[in-house]
């Protein structure tokens, strides 16, 4: 994990990616109780977002460092024993979420994570069963800003579960 | 409108346990995730699903 975060910071410093933020289950784990996950989901923003193969520069940079696709999960790159899945920012909600990403210290390394309210909104948008459970976990989280979450949902045309649960 | 029932001691302990886990530093949470992966590895393997626990 530490090595993966170090490499992500290097990719930003070298200009391979403009910015990144951890999302998915590990992003949620930053705020909530730990849950089982197999990979580290990382949303990435590029300076040149017109490319048909936006992730190729990342794969090229990682290959030069000796990091190759995970044997069992080829959609992930094994960075120091952590399978990392890179996901390009593919809609306005993700772009806004990444613009609001928070920095935190992980064992001396600066890392970026999506805000809780955006992680919940992304879960609403994705809409799988595990995402719905994650939204409920966020709603029960003491420091979760339900107003901000409702605002994000409204701005992106998502059905807000806060309004639904308070009817 | 019906009033909410108070939590039983067991329910309270479970809720409090979840809050305690949520309040852990992120480095400790990562250790928990890796421990979950280690514990579930043999169970998943029996179903033919391979889990590789992360290196911390």
User: According to CATH, what is the number of the domain A1-114?
Assistant: 3.30.460
Spatial contact of A120 and A149, defined as CB atoms under 8 Å apart: yes
Nearest CB to A81: which of B26, B27, B55?
A: B55
The ipTM assigned to this model is: 0.84
**Res. A37 pLDDT band, cuts 50 70 90:** very high
Q: pLDDT tens, A133-159? A: 999 999 988 789 999 999 999 999 998
Q: Which two tokens stand for residue A4?
A: 């993966």
Q: pLDDT tens, A49-63? A: 677 788 889 999 999
Residue B16 has pLDDT above 90, yes or no: no
SS3 content of chain A, % helix, strand, coil (to 5): 45, 20, 35
Q: Vertex A48, ends A45 and A49: CA angle to 5°?
A: 65
What's the DSSP call for residue A69? B
Do B56 and A107 lie within an 8 Å CB cutoff? no
Q: Does A83 touch chain B (CB under 8 A)?
A: yes
Cα–Cα nearest to A23, from A107, A91, A108: A91
Nearest CB to A33: which of B22, B55, B56?
A: B22
Do A104 and B26 lie within an 8 Å CB cutoff? yes
Residue A154 has a pLDDT of 93
Spatial contact of A70 and A85, defined as CB atoms under 8 Å apart: no
- How far apart are alpha carbons A1 and A5 in whole angstroms? 6
Domain definitions of chain A by residue range: 1-114, 116-167
Q: What is the DSSP string of B1-56?
A: -PPPPPPPHHHHHHHHHHHHHHTS-HHHHHHHHHHHHHHHHHHHHHTT----PPP-
What's the DSSP call for residue A56? H
- How far apart are alpha carbons A147 and A149 in whole angstroms? 5
Q: pLDDT tens, A84-130? A: 999 999 899 999 999 999 998 888 898 999 999 999 999 999 999 99
């Amino acid at each position: 994990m530490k090595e993966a975060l170090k490499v992500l910071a290097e990719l930003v410093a070298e200009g391979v990616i403009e910015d990144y933020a951890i999302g998915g289950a590990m992003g949620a784990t930053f705020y909530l109780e730990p849950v089982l996950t197999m990979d580290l989901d990382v949303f990435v923003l590029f300076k040149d977002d017109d490319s048909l193969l936006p992730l190729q520069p990342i794969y090229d940079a990682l290959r030069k460092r000796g990091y190759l696709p995970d044997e069992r999960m080829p959609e992930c790159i094994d960075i120091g024993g952590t399978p990392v899945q890179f996901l390009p920012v593919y809609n306005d909600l993700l772009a806004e979420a990444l613009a609001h990403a928070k920095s935190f210290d992980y064992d001396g390394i600066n890392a970026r994570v999506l805000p809780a309210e955006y992680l919940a909104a992304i879960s609403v948008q994705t809409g799988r069963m595990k995402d719905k459970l994650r939204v409920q976990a966020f709603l029960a989280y003491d420091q979760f800003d339900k107003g901000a979450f409702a605002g994000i949902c409204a701005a992106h045309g998502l059905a807000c579960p806060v309004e639904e649960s308070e009817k | 409108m019906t009033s909410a029932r108070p939590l039983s001691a067991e329910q309270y302990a479970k809720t409090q346990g979840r809050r305690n886990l949520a309040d852990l530093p992120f480095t400790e949470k990562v250790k928990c995730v890796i421990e979950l992966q280690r514990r579930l590895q043999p169970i998943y393997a029996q179903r033919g699903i391979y889990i590789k626990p992360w290196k911390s």
